[in-house]
């Protein structure tokens, strides 16, 4: 086991703790937007997908990369947009307009 993987494990463990701390403070009112929003964040795989799709040397790797970019982009774009749409409904001023 090299140094780098150890640092990554450190980061992983600490991030889990940060996640627990931050997310326990989200009220049940917003649990659905939390799920769709965190879903969008898990679309961060798009970073890896871009690197795979742009590699350009192996056709198979590139095609897998393309499929990864498509899936991850659906996750990112869809996730953030739908969360924004939902959170807009929790705004008070917007409600007045609607009435």
Partner 1 sequence: MELDLITKIVYLVASVMFILGLKKLSSPKTAQKGNLYALIGMLLAIAVTLFDQGILDYTYIIVGVIIGGLIGAISAKKVAMTDMPQMVALFNGFGGIASTFVAYSEYVKAAGVVGTTDVVISMILSLLIGTVTFTGSLIAFLKLQGWMTSAPIVFKGQSFFNGLILVATVVLGVLFEFDNSIEMYLLIIVAISAILGVTSVIPIGGADMPVVISLLNSYSGLAACATGFVLSNNVLIIAGALVGASGLILTNIMCVAMNRSLANVLFGAVGVEGGTTASGSGEKKTVTRYTATDAGMIFDSAESVIIVPGYGLAVAQAQHVLQELASLLEARGCKVRYAVHPVAGRMPGHMNVLLAEANVDYEKIVEMDMINEDFQETDVALVIGANDVINPAARYKKESPLYGMPILDVDKAHRVMIIKRSLATGFAGEDNELFYDEKTMMLFGDAKGMVTEMVKAVKEL
Chain residues 33-72 in contact with partner 1, contact rule CB under 8 A:
33-58, 60-72
82 touching partner 1, by CB under 8 A: yes
Least distance in angstroms from the C-beta of 19 to partner 1? 3
88 touching partner 1, by CB under 8 A: yes
x/- mask, partner 1, residues 3-32, rule CB under 8 A, reads -xx--x--xx--xx-xxx-xxxxxxxxxxx
Q: What is the DSSP letter of 10?
A: H
What does the alpha-carbon distance between residue 59 and residue 67 come to, in Å, rounded to a whole number? 12
Let me know if 88 is exposed, middle or buried by CB neighbors in 10 A (0-12, 13-18, 19+).
Answer: exposed
Structure tokens at 49: 């997908």
93 touching partner 1, by CB under 8 A: no
């Amino acid at each position: 086991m090299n140094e780098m993987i150890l640092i990554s494990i450190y980061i992983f463990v600490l991030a889990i703790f940060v996640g627990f701390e931050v997310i326990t403070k989200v009220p049940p009112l917003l649990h659905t937007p939390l799920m769709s929003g965190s879903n969008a964040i898990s679309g961060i795989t798009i970073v890896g997908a871009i690197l795979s799709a742009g590699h350009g040397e192996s056709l198979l790797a590139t095609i897998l990369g393309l499929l990864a970019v498509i899936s991850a982009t659906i996750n990112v774009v869809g996730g953030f947009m739908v969360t924004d749409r939902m959170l807009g409904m929790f705004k008070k001023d917007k409600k007045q307009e609607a009435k």
